[in-house]
């Protein structure tokens, strides 16, 4: 059974480059991005990790912890770490500044459905899970091994997830923080008047635009 949005992210204990963690304790009152990599000492993974390290201040601003995973040992992760720092300047990156889980026995990869045998036999593909402070899964992304992810897109999605958790809005195509939002269809015009006293622009009866409530 694959994990689904809205389910509680399974808890686990793991060895990481920052020592042993208990996943739910690690998340604490934050959001968390858990993301997997096929293997240590592989090129695309090295670029992704250095780029994510450079974006860590943006994740911090969004109260979001970062934790990576691959099916190698802490010893291998630690050796790989210096390579990640070495290539950083070529990819607008930075040296590693968040923990990497050593999932040598593949228990966590199996638990989270990160191994897709038709794509990569024994290795994890590029999974992303965004988990909320309530430990529920808010977003799942799955990329093939050969395609590096765009972490700015993940930040954009985080902005939407956090905004729509607090306000009765959804975000339209290509939305970025500050752009107009959509009043959720479940809210009647009468109820919307209380929440959006400055009114809205109606493009269709079901498509009502309001300024970003967090602008």
Residue identified by tokens 């956090």 is: 162
| CB neighbourhood size of 211 (10 A) | 15
Q: What's the min distance (Å) between Cβ of 126 and ligand BEZ?
A: 8
Nearer to ligand BEZ, 38 or 99 (CB): 38
32 carries an active-site annotation: no
Q: Which is nearer to ligand BEZ, 3 or 44 (CB)?
A: 44
Give me the residue label for tokens 């808890």. Answer: 11
Exactly one of 45, 101, 163, 181 is catalytic; which is it?
Answer: 45
Which residues lie near ligand BEZ (CB under 6 A)?
A: 38-39, 42-45, 145-146
Task: Check residue 124 and report its DSSP letter.
Answer: B
In angstroms, the CA 78 to CA 41 distance is 11
Q: Which is nearer to ligand BEZ, 45 or 66 (CB)?
A: 45
Report the nearest approach of ligand BEZ to the CB of residue 205 (Å).
48
Residue 121: CB minimum distance to ligand BEZ, A: 11
- The b-or-e profile of 183-205 (16+ CB within 10 A means b, else e) is beeebeeeebeeebeeebeeeee
Instruction: Just list the catalytic residues.
Output: 45
């Amino acid at each position: 059974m694959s994990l689904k949005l809205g389910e509680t992210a399974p808890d686990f204990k793991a060895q990481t480059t920052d020592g042993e963690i208990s996943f739910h304790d690690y998340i604490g009152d934050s959001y968390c991005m858990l993301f997997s990599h096929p293997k240590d000492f592989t090129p695309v993974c090295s670029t992704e990790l250095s780029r994510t390290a450079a974006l860590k201040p943006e994740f911090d601003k969004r109260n979001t912890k970062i934790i990576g995973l691959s099916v190698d040992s802490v010893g291998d992760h630690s050796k790989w770490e210096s390579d990640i720092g070495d290539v950083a300047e070529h990819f607008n990156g930075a040296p590693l500044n968040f923990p990497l889980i050593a999932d040598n026995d593949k228990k966590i990869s199996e638990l989270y459905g990160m191994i897709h045998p038709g794509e990569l036999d024994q290795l994890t593909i590029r999974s992303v899970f965004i988990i909320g402070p309530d430990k529920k899964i808010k977003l799942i992304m799955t990329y093939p091994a050969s395609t590096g992810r765009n972490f700015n897109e993940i930040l954009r999605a985080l902005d939407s997830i956090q905004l729509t958790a607090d306000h009765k809005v959804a975000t339209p195509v290509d939305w970025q923080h500050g752009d107009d939002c959509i009043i959720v269809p479940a809210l009647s015009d009468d109820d919307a008047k209380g929440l959006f006293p400055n009114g809205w622009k109606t493009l269709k009866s079901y498509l009502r635009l309001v300024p970003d409530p967090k602008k």
